[in-house]
Structure 1
């Protein structure tokens, strides 16, 4: 497939590298100087692109930039591309990083808001794993203990396409439902960055409580910021699991 990725950071860059290795034609865009973007693209096995070219002649566009940056995308960016092009949102809202976004603070589902900002339906995917998990946690299809990733959206055929791409990156897929249900794998829920297999993730998605998510999200950030040394990947996963007593892997460890 032909895939354009807006954002070449920890998540976007890892997705680009994995999909390129899987045989897809990948091009990337970021706001850095074009010479630096060319170097980054070469490192990832991708092609550098301008912003307006990133959405042209592709099957999928993946938006992997901070939530706060999404309104800065040109309003006409997606206006003249085919409705068959699938747009994927990987973002997660963190007020300490993104600033206060009133609609999200008032409970609007993050990817519904993203869809409204860009004027285009989106599929929510690649958001409920840490960058380290995405880079190092993939396993071949059918492998024991394979980590699962959540996906949400309103178009079943588009979700099937993105599910295949997720499989190409080394992860199982659990369908969380419509885009309005994508809050179930936003920050502050049992499904978020807890490294669960397919059965466990399905349970975690079911057990999420929308009204509690923002408080849990912010509390976990406060806990991490109190540390005097950076947490390891395992410690972050452990903290996320410990926030939910019913999580099947709560006893993995404590921060």
Structure 2
């Protein structure tokens, strides 16, 4: 597939590298310019491009930018064909993004971004830590393979995104329509807890919007309590412990 990843940070860089290795035609664009694309991403086969040229004639565009910045790309997508699959990997954290009234009043995060962007979106790759995505992917069929939820209103777009999740080393889980994607947002039982395919469905079902928002808003204090140098495993265990 012809894929563009917008955002060359930890998540975007991981996805661009893995999808290029999987054989896709991958471009990477970053608001800081092509020089912001990490060398290991380029070495994997992804091509840095300028943002204004990033979204035309592509099968898939993956948005790996901060949640509050997604609406700023509305003009960029104004002429992008409706059949182009656009995937949102972002998460809403008020202490990072500032309070966003629509979301605080109950609008689902990526439903809000789809509305602001003016086109349908898929939600994927948001519920796994950058280090999980970088180092814990496994070939299909391997025991203990971590699962990642994918939500979209279009069955076809969801199917495309699920195939790409598989290509990055994770079992894709059909999480239904976008209105239900709040179940995979911070900090529910399915969020960054490294669950298998059999475990992920029950975790999504246990999500509680009020409780999960409270856990999300206490994350800074809980992370600080881990000490000066928490490991990746410490963070995953902290996330799991919040729902025991």
Short-chain TM bin: over 0.9
SS at match of 1:177: coil
Partner of 1:253: none
Conservation of the 8 A alpha-carbon contact between 1:38 and 1:48: no
Residue deviations 1:149-208 (CA, integer Å, cap 9, x gap): 001010111111111111111110111110000000000100000000001001101111
**TM-score with structure 2 setting the length:** 0.96
Structure 1 residue runs without a partner (length 5+): 246-255
Conservation of the 8 A alpha-carbon contact between 2:17 and 2:40: no
Conservation of the 8 A alpha-carbon contact between 1:6 and 1:12: yes
When structure 1 is superposed on structure 2, of 104-113 and 190-199 the one drifting more is 104-113
When structure 1 is superposed on structure 2, of 197-206 and 44-53 the one drifting more is 44-53
Partner of 2:123: 124
Residue deviations 1:101-130 (CA, integer Å, cap 9, x gap): 111112211100110111110000011000
**TM-score with structure 1 setting the length:** 0.92
Partner of 2:240: 241
Conservation of the 8 A alpha-carbon contact between 2:61 and 2:84: yes
5 Å-filtered alignment, 1:51-70, equals: 51-70=51-70
When structure 1 is superposed on structure 2, of 207-216 and 2-11 the one drifting more is 207-216
Deviation at 1:51, TM superposition (A): 1.5
Conservation of the 8 A alpha-carbon contact between 1:41 and 1:48: no
Partner of 2:77: 78
Q: How many pairs does the alignment contain?
A: 244
Partner of 2:16: 16
SS at match of 1:157: helix
Partner of 1:7: 7
How far, CA to CA, are the matches of 2:99 and 2:134 in structure 1?
Answer: 30
How far, CA to CA, are the matches of 1:44 and 1:218 in structure 2?
Answer: 37
Conservation of the 8 A alpha-carbon contact between 1:147 and 1:197: yes
Partner of 1:47: 47
Q: Quote the RMSD (CA, aligned, Å).
A: 1.4
Conservation of the 8 A alpha-carbon contact between 2:13 and 2:38: no
Structure 2 residue runs without a partner (length 5+): none
